[in-house]
Amino acid sequence: MVQLILDVGGTYEFTLPESIKENYTAVKIPLATTAQMISGRTVRELRGNVWQVSYQYGYFKQTDLTNLLGACEKGMSQPIVCSFLTQENPEELTTEEFWVDSYQRPKFMWSLEGEPLWADFSIVLRGVRPSD
């Protein structure tokens, strides 16, 4: 089952393997700005809710690492289009623009038949526009 595709239709399109043990979430979070007034009061403007997708996975081959890191780095500087699975509609992928809030670069674990394996990758994506 596909849960997340990074940079759909872009240079670094990459379909991530299915995450296991509840290491994938897609939830709506408030998109808001907070300002402190001269009088000391704090004002918060809620603009809507955006999707936040968190994903973690174990092992990647060296051949997959280039596209994976390329999509992550691109998403840090400009929005990327991603397809993701929601709890509301688990049969169909939803496609939206996302910023990469953070990601953890995979670490070298070991070599299998001469090909390096990388592990401990995680990423957090935040939607660009409110969905409601």
Reported as a single tens digit per residue, the pLDDT across 55-77 is: 998 788 888 888 899 999 999 99
* Residue showing tokens 């280039």: 66
In this predicted structure, the answer to whether residue 79 has a pLDDT above a threshold of 90 is yes
Reported as a single tens digit per residue, the pLDDT across 119-132 is: 889 999 999 999 77
pLDDT band per the 50, 70, 90 thresholds, residue 93: very high
What is the mean pLDDT of the segment spanning 13-27? Answer: 88
Measured CA to CA, the distance from residue 89 to residue 64 in angstroms comes to 28
Q: What are the boundaries of each domain within the chain?
A: 4-31+48-121
Q: 127, 132, 129: which is closest to 51 by C-alpha?
A: 127
Q: 128, 130, 129, 4: which is closest to 75 by C-alpha?
A: 128
